[in-house]
Amino acid sequence: MITDIYYVIPEIFLSLGLMFLLLLGVFKKNGSSVVYNLSILILIISVPLILNVPTSVELLIFNDSYKIDYLSSFIKILIVISTLFVLLTSSQYLKSIKIFNVEYPILIISSIIGMMVMVSSNDLIVFYIGLELQSLALYVLASFNRDNILSSESGLKYFVLSALSSGLLLYGCSLVYGFSSSTNFSQISFNYDQSTQGIIFGMVFILVGLAFKISAVPFHMWAPDVYQGSPTSVTLFFAILPKIAALTVFIRFLYTPFLNLIDQWQSIIIFLSIASMLFGAIAAIGQKNLKRLIAYSSISHMGYALAGLTTGTNEGIQSSVCYISIYLVMNLAFFSCIFMLKREDKYYENIEDLAGLSKNHPLLSFSFLIVLFSLAGIPPLAGFFAKFYVFMAVIEQSMFFLAIVGLLATVVAAFYYLRIIKVIYFDDEVDKYDTNLSIGLKLSLIITTTLILIYFIYPNSLIDLVSKINLV
Amino acid sequence: MMNIPILSLLICVPTLGALFILFTKSTEKYNSHKYISIFISVINFILSIYLWYNFDNSNPSFQFVEKREWIYGFINYKVGIDGISILFIILTTFITPLCILSVNSTIKNRLKDFLVAILIMESLMIGVFCSLDLVIFYLFFEGGLIPMFLIIGIWGGERRVYSAFKFFLYTLLGSVLMLVAIIYIYWISGTTDVEKLYEIGIDAKYQKILWLAFFSSFAVKTPMWPVHTWLPDAHVEAPTAGSVLLAAILLKMAGYGFIRFSIGLFPIGSEYFVTFVYVLSLIAIIYTSLVALMQVDMKKLIAYSSVAHMGFVTLGIFTMTQQGLEGSIFQMISHGIISAALFLCVGVIYERMYTREIKRYGGIVEVMPKYSIILMIFTLGALGLPGTTGFIGEFLILIGAFRDNFLVAVIASFGVILGAAYMLWMYKRVIFGELINKDLKNLVDLNKSEIIILTLLAIPSLYFGFYPEPLINTVEVSVSNLINNYNANLEIYTAHNE
């Protein structure tokens, strides 16, 4: 038991760091920027700690309730690094809208501890604890700008709907426990009788709860409002981190306890995937607000990530993980661009505010161009490869309907990305934006855009990493 | 042979040049960017001529092949050329410098970005013509959408946004099915390497559906009737240099794709759909010629004539005869030169009068004699007068068609007559007649750079019109090899079925 602790050092380190920051925040006056910088430091230190955890074999610790394998470490690294970027890009934003408080980085860290528990969980109860830890922090974050009515609304909305979905999830968990008399993922698959309806009911409830977390259609209703209302930095956090974690949990559930029920869940996931791809693409067309637009866009991106999971193969899982990794880089780049639309402490987030951006800010517009074409999946940018891998896996299983619908949805989606490019490049200019931006923001924009642009030169870099994920 | 990776160089040089331009500054007075980009594209032209010089005409297999591992165990970066692709590469490297040269005061703002876009476009187009892996081909083929979208959208005319969107979405819609087909080919054959696929062939039962998927992409890009409607819009709104690139090279990517992939990879599918392609091509030839007759806008007229000419090309390709295929390739090269020149000619008077409406002109032979002569050469080239490249192409295609199907050839011949009708009628209305419009009196004749560009285009068009040997010799072996493969495949298939 005590040796098991060795494998959870990263989580423990983050938790201790979190408590330390909390104390520091309480006792030190005006300590917000110290806490902010220290939390960045803590995240940086936790990266080598995660790398240090051996992943060559799959390990089950704490009475088989916690799983350490390559997938969990890979996703944890993704989570920590993207959180790092989120913090780097958003400090200036937080300062200018005056919510640069001590609690902000602390809430973010506590939420990612929840996610790390989620992706490693091998037990219904551990999983649920992780989920609630991340969700509770997210409720607060959504309404963090409490003087803003939209922000409060989004926090409340997210709380109510998320609690509902957690309820469904919990009900599903209890059904699964009832019909398999175990909460352990590995045990469940041995214990249930495939012919009983109860276990399928339980599985459907769990899938619904998870679909809510990644905002797959038809459980997406909260996403546009929450994305729009939350402070932009929180929207960025929402757009990537909970989705990575929830998608990994999807993989865990589908491929450990419910692998034998593949015939049952495959059609559900195909439906979720097709509905998300199409709905996300069509609903985004009429949007005027960039944050709302990216909400719909992320709905459709989740559809593609789910498409990889429908296959029931290792290639499918790898392609989904690839997709989500490229997706998070694209979103980081997109939001870095949005953070740059600042004029005298006011941030702009409507598409029309981008009019003629290319005349005054050629480099920023070029980044927008790259990111948007990449999101649309046009070769040779990274976004194309993400889709390419998913469709490779899907077509291998001869699921042509899914592939063709997915690719047609990319054409529809291309339309609204093009519309933004049109506004940036073809329309007449408005006033200039500020150029005195923080180094962290500039750095993260440069890094992410370059990654998207030159990914095609050496695509093996990512493939090598994900090809070690072998679950089936 | 030497060990320099000459094809990769051809692909990379323009991109590197574009990067160089992107990160350097230029002054108002002395526009170094334009000269740098001309320099780069001329270097590329010289490289491609060197390539042609070293090219072995009698060798039917791919030459200058380069292969590097790209995604391990899956896709290789593989480029190589045969007699067919080399001509298109030379066409690309020949047209691009002229395109850049023709850029002048009309591109008022953001000249730098424009040059970058054109150079990147050149890289991608050369990539399309020499890639020997389906995935690499797709990357180049689709990547071209981005710069072209920007060229039309930023520097285009009034309805540029509409046209740019239409262009982008039409082509994207066409090619997604091709992507599905490419991935599927990988799963049924285990490779996307074109050379290997030529050897092992693709399972006959999938060929028809795969052929259709590729066709959907190429038909939009060609463009064939009824998916041609994006072309007139794109042409009319694009700036002159953009129209030239579009007509001269982009449209050829699809014709090349038909030859290299549709016929090469899916002989059984192609044979099955021959009638289908004939019908669409004939409709394109007759219908768009009639539409061209009715146009009031010169650029639109030439755009519709492009659709008709590409109808000849697809017709010739699917006759599957030596003459038909050679004719199609010849016609594509010829159309590349002549339509480029025609668009430049329209650009010349548009820059002076800011209108392309035919009825605003008339009698300009009195004020622009040199212009009238040059336009005459290209008009006659477009309608296929003997002595120009246009004639050789159409003539060979019609011979091929007569060998295959008499009726089709007869109908196609009517297209030639219609072609003469709309071109000559336009010429008459613009050049001859009385000088009614007062503004026209102040028109200035061609200046030096315009004369240079147009003469450079006229020379090959006349030279190869009188002496087509060099081009025909280059493609001959590759084409006969392609046809032999095609027939051998069909024989195996029919023997298998009996």
Q: Tell me: pLDDT of B1 over 50.
A: no
d(CA A114, CA A130): 4
Average pLDDT, chain A: 89
Using CA atoms, how far residue B365 sits from A269, B375, B432, B446, in Å, is 70, 10, 6, 12
- Name the minimum distance, in Å, from the CA of A44 to any CA of chain B: 31
CA distance B187 to chain A (A): 6
Q: Which of A322, A365, A378 has the highest number of chain B CBs within 10 A, making it the mutation to test binding with B?
A: A378
C-alpha distance from B72 to closest chain A C-alpha (Å): 7
* A332 close to A82: Cβ distance less than 8 angstroms: yes
**Would you call B168 and A460 a contact, using CB atoms and an 8 Å cutoff?**
no
Q: What is the mean pLDDT of residues B189-217?
A: 86
Q: Which of helix, strand or coil describes residue A336?
A: helix
pLDDT of A446 reads 92
User: B102: distance to nearest CA of chain A, Å?
Assistant: 23
Please report the pLDDT score of residue A272 as a whole number.
92
Question: Which string of b and e fits B163-185 if b means at least 16 CB within 10 Å?
Answer: bbbbbbbbbbbbbbbbbbbbbbb
Distance CA A140, CA A149 (A): 14
Who contacts B147 (Cβ-Cβ below 8 Å, separation ≥6)? B117, B118, B120, B121, B124
B187 CB neighbours in chain A (<8 A) are: 395-396
pLDDT tens digits for A332-362? 999 999 888 888 878 888 888 888 888 888 8
Q: Which of B113, B142, B161 sits opposite A426 (nearest CB)?
A: B161
Query: Over chain B, what is the mean pLDDT?
Result: 86
Residues in chain B: 498
Report pLDDT for A45. 94
Residue A422 has its nearest CB partner, among B139, B153, B173, at: B153
Element (H, E) at A66: strand A66-68
pLDDT, greater one: A194 or A130: A130
CB contact under 8 Å between B143 and A378, yes or no, is yes
Residues B427, B364 contacting (CB under 8 angstroms): no
Say if CB A13 and CB A49 are below 8 A apart: yes
| CA angle at B215 for the pair B209 and B219, rounded to the nearest 5° | 155
* B173 touches A at CB < 8 Å: yes
H or E element: which one contains B286?
helix B274-293
For chain A, say whether B120 makes contact (Cβ under 8 Å): no
Q: Answer for the pair B282, B315: CB distance below 8 angstroms, yes or no.
A: yes
Mean pLDDT of all residues in B330-352: 88
Contact list, A392 vs chain B (CB under 8 Å): 183, 186
| Alpha-carbon Rg for chain A in angstroms | 21
pLDDT in tens, A45-95: 999 999 988 888 888 888 888 999 999 999 999 999 999 999 988 888 888
From chain B, pick out residues whose CB is under 8 angstroms from the CB of A403: 180, 183
Contact flag A414-B164 (C-beta cutoff 8 Å): no
Taking the Cβ of residue B419 and every Cβ of chain A, the question of whether any pair is shorter than 8 Å is answered with no
User: Do B81 and B89 touch, CB atoms closer than 8 A?
Assistant: yes
CB half-sphere exposure, A226, CA atoms < 13 A: 27
Compute the distance between CA of residue A231 and CA of residue A90 in angstroms, rounded to an integer. 10
Residue A391 with chain B: CB contacts under 8 Å: 179-180, 183
Nearest chain B residue to A427 by CA distance is B154
Smallest Cβ–Cβ distance between B153 and the set A379, A400, A426 belongs to A426
Of B316, B304, B164, B186, the closest CA to residue B247 belongs to B304
Least confident of A179-188, A256-265, B27-36, B335-344: B27-36
| Closest to B178 measured CA to CA, from A407, A310, A62 | A407
Instruction: Give me the pLDDT at residue B28, please.
Output: 59
CA nearest to B189 within chain A: A396
Q: CA-CA distances (angstroms) from residue B393 to A151, B320, B381?
A: 68, 15, 11
- Angle formed at CA B243 by CA B98 and CA B26, multiple of 5 degrees: 55
A-interface mutation test, from B15, B116, B133, B146, most A Cβ less than 10 A away: B146
Share of chain B above pLDDT 90, in %: 4
Closest listed residue to residue A353, CA positions, set A363, A341, A340: A341
Q: Quick one: how far is CA B6 from the chain centroid?
A: 22
Q: What share of chain B is helix, strand, coil (3-state, %, to 5)?
A: 75, 5, 20
How many contacts does A have with B, using Cβ atoms within 8 A? 82
**Cβ atoms within 10 Å of A117's Cβ, excluding its own:** 22
Cα A373 from chain centre: 20
CA distance A314 to A311: 8
**Nearest CB neighbour to B169, from listed A395, A411, A460:** A411
CA–centroid distance for B221 within its chain: 10
Tokens (6 digits) for B479: 């084409």
| A296 alpha carbon, distance to own chain's centre | 14
Q: Do B179 and A407 touch (CB under 8 A)?
A: yes
pLDDT confidence band for B106 (50 / 70 / 90):
low
- Determine which of A390-394, B423-427, B491-495 has the lowest per-residue pLDDT on average: B491-495
CA distance B415 to B306: 12
User: How close A224 gets to chain B, by Cα (Å)?
Assistant: 26
In a 3-state reduction of DSSP, which class is residue A193?
A: coil
- Asked if A81 and A44 touch (Cβ cutoff 8 Å), the reply is no
**Spatial CA neighbour of A427 closest among A351, A363, A342, A366:** A351
Token representation of residue A170: 């919990």
CA distance A124 to A126: 6
- Whether residues B186 and A391 touch (CB distance < 8 A) is answered with no
Lowest mean pLDDT among A1-15, A121-135, B103-117: B103-117
Whether B165 contacts chain A with CB within 8 A: yes
CA distance B132 to chain A (A): 17
**Mean pLDDT across B365-371:** 84
Decide if B161 touches A, using CB distance below 8 A.
yes
Identify the three-state secondary structure at position A472.
Answer: coil
Q: Is the pLDDT of residue B30 over 70?
A: no
Is residue B138 less than 8 Å (CB to CB) from chain A? Answer: yes
What span, in angstroms and rounded, lies between the C-alpha atoms of B444 and B459?
Answer: 24
Which residues of chain B have a CB within 8 Å of the CB of A362? 113
Contact A426 B154 (CB under 8 A): yes
What pLDDT is stored for residue A302 in this prediction?
92
Residue ranges of B 184-223 with Cβ closer than 8 A to chain A: 184, 186-187
More confident position, A219 or A345: A219
Asked whether the beta carbons of residue A391 and residue B180 sit closer than 8 angstroms, the reply is: yes
Q: Are strands B63-71 and A346-347 parallel, antiparallel or unpaired?
A: unpaired
Cβ(B321)–Cβ(B404) below 8 Å: yes
Q: Do A414 and B179 touch (CB under 8 A)?
A: no
Place of tokens 């661009």: A337
What integer is the mean pLDDT of A416-438?
84
Split at pLDDT 50, 70, 90, the class of B491 is confident
Please give the residue of chain A at the shortest CA–CA distance from B71.
A460
Q: How far apart are the first and last CA of chain A?
A: 28
Indicate if the pLDDT at residue A200 is higher than 50.
yes
Contact A391 B173 (CB under 8 A): no
Query: Rounded CA gap, A275 and B372, in Å?
Result: 60
The distance of B475 to chain A (nearest Cα, Å) reads: 31
Comparing alpha-carbon positions, the chain B residue that sits nearest to A406 is B176
If you measure CA to CA, which chain B residue comes closest to A390? B183
Chain B residues touching residue A380 (CB < 8 angstroms): 139, 143
**Residue B263 in contact with residue B271, Cβ under 8 Å?**
no
Query: Do B250 and B148 meet the contact criterion of CB atoms below 8 Å apart?
Result: yes
DSSP character for B261? I
- Interface of A to B at Cβ within 8 Å reads 358-359, 362, 373, 378-380, 384, 388, 391-392, 395-396, 400, 403-404, 407-408, 410-411, 414-415, 418, 421-422, 425-426, 456, 459-460, 463-464
Residue A78 and residue A469 in contact, taking contact as beta carbons nearer than 8 Å = no
Are B328 and B393 in contact, with CB atoms under 8 Å apart?
A: yes
Most B CBs within 10 A among A360, A388, A428, A467, hence the mutation to make, goes to A388
Distance from CA of B40 to the nearest CA of A (A): 23
Residue B68's beta-bridge partner residues?
B77
The closest CB to that of B169, out of A388, A407, A414, belongs to A414
